[in-house]
């Protein structure tokens, strides 16, 4: 399955022609969705920064190549656990064997999902391998631009109810499912937070992260708005935190 988008159920009593039309539209939507997924690393040149930047967040598939090529062990794998948000208890749980490939500690997730459960050190190592680096928070803001292109966020009172009107119910979306921003870059606002190389001003063990995630309740969370940020410990692996590189 190329993505986990859900479509409205077909009514029990339905005209056969209407059903056929519905079926064809669904197939076309799925085909478009599959064919539009990027198959290789894509970069965009940002004139203001004189830098190239990943058009999409780094995916599980891309990170897999890094792991295999370098026989790399992530911080989460060295701990043998990582942080997963528990929607029932509204808290972060330490889940055994949650990692880049099994972000919830259960099954391997799709290659086209943004990679999560990566520490700041893991993200730096990946970007270095690609002859790049993480953006600073200031660079990230310039990449994000002025216009808010809201992507996959939490729609409803968190963590009780998510309407999933953006197509993704309590879950991460594959990359590239929402419109790009003014710089033709996708998935900056929502879906998963992104590491930056800017240290926290109050904790020397933490770094600034940008962009918000699918857990951002739009009624109070402003993480998906440019210029807003949070800070996270460098060795944190979380199931809503990923990254992209600049070159």
77/166 with CB nearer Ca ion: 166
Does 152 bind Ca ion (CB under 5 A)? Our answer is yes
**Rule CB under 5 A: which of 41-80 touch Ca ion?**
none
Does 82 bind Ca ion (CB under 5 A)? Our answer is no
The C-alpha atoms of residue 84 and residue 96 are separated, in whole angstroms, by: 10
109/166 with CB nearer Ca ion: 166
Binding segment for Ca ion among 27-35, 125-133, 166-174, 224-232 (CB under 5 A)?
166-174
Least distance in Å: CB of 155 to Ca ion?
6
85/168 with CB nearer Ca ion: 168
Q: Which of 166, 187, 194, 217 binds Ca ion (CB under 5 A)?
A: 166
Q: How many CB atoms lie within 10 A of CB 125?
A: 17
Beta strands 206-210 and 193-199: pairing type? Answer: antiparallel
Q: How many CB atoms lie within 10 A of CB 160?
A: 9
Least distance in Å: CB of 149 to Ca ion?
14
Does 189 bind Ca ion (CB under 5 A)? Our answer is no
Alpha helices, H only, 88-168? 120-129, 137-144
Does 168 bind Ca ion (CB under 5 A)? Our answer is yes
Are 103 and 84 contacting, i.e. CB atoms less than 8 angstroms apart? yes
* Total number of residues that touch Ca ion (CB under 5 A): 3
Beta strands 193-199 and 91-96: pairing type? Answer: unpaired
By C-alpha distance, which of 72, 71, 181 is closest to 123?
72
Name the CA dihedral angle for 145, 182, 191, 165, rounded to a multiple of 10 degrees.
120
Least distance in Å: CB of 168 to Ca ion?
4
Closest-approach residue to Ca ion (CB): 168
Where does this chain bind Ca ion (CB under 5 A)?
152, 166, 168
């Amino acid at each position: 399955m190329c993505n986990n988008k859900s479509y409205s159920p077909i009514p029990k009593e339905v005209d056969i022609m209407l059903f056929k039309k519905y079926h064809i539209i669904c197939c076309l939507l799925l085909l478009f969705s599959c064919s539009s997924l990027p198959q290789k690393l894509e970069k965009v040149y940002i004139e203001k920064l004189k830098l190239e930047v990943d058009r999409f967040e780094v995916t599980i598939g891309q990170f897999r190549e890094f792991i295999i090529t370098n026989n790399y062990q992530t911080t989460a794998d060295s701990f043998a656990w990582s942080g997963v948000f528990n929607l029932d208890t509204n808290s972060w749980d330490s889940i055994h064997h949650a990692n880049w490939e099994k972000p919830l500690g259960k099954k391997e997730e799709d290659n086209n999902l943004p990679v999560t459960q990566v520490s700041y050190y893991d993200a730096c190592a990946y970007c270095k391998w690609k002859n790049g680096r993480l953006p600073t928070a200031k660079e990230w803001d310039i990449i994000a631009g002025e216009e808010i292109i809201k992507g996959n966020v939490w729609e409803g009172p968190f963590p009780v109810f998510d309407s999933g009107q953006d197509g993704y119910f309590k879950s991460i979306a594959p990359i590239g499912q929402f419109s790009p921003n003014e710089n033709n870059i996708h998935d900056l606002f929502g879906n998963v937070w992104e590491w930056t190389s800017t240290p926290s001003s109050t904790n020397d063990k933490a770094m600034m992260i940008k962009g918000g995630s699918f857990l951002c309740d739009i009624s109070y969370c402003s993480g998906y708005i440019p210029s807003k940020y949070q800070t996270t410990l460098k060795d944190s692996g979380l199931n809503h935190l990923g990254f992209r590189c600049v070159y």
